Amino acid sequence: MNIMPSHCENAMEQKSFIHKAKNFFLHNRDHLWKIEPKGKIPCLVVLEVDCRSALVAEVHNDVGH
């Protein structure tokens, strides 16, 4: 399957998108992860702003300053 986002209207934008997309992978078809350089642990991508805020608050309250 080869589907491009609607904002990739020309070959240059498509090439840029593909280059950036190589830094991500899907796990279990529903979790998007960002590949970190030099063997570091991948980061879970959280798209929902409300979820991000809740996660930051939880980490702050559990781990502290």
Counting the structural domains of the chain, the total is 1
> Would you say residue 5 lies in a domain?
no
pLDDT score at 14: 93
Q: Structure tokens of 43?
A: 């980061």
pLDDT score at 22: 94
pLDDT score at 62: 87
pTM of the entire predicted model:
0.67
> Would you say residue 2 lies in a domain?
no
3 falls in which pLDDT band (50, 70, 90)? confident
Q: Structure tokens of 13?
A: 């934008």
> Would you say residue 4 lies in a domain?
no
Q: What is the pLDDT of residues 4-31, one digit of tens each?
A: 888 999 999 999 999 999 999 999 888 9
Residues 6+ apart with CB under 8 A from 45: 24, 32, 33, 34
Q: Structure tokens of 63?
A: 């781990």
Please check whether residue 31 is in contact with residue 22, taking contact to mean a CB–CB distance below 8 angstroms.
no
For residue 27, the enclosing domain spans 11-63
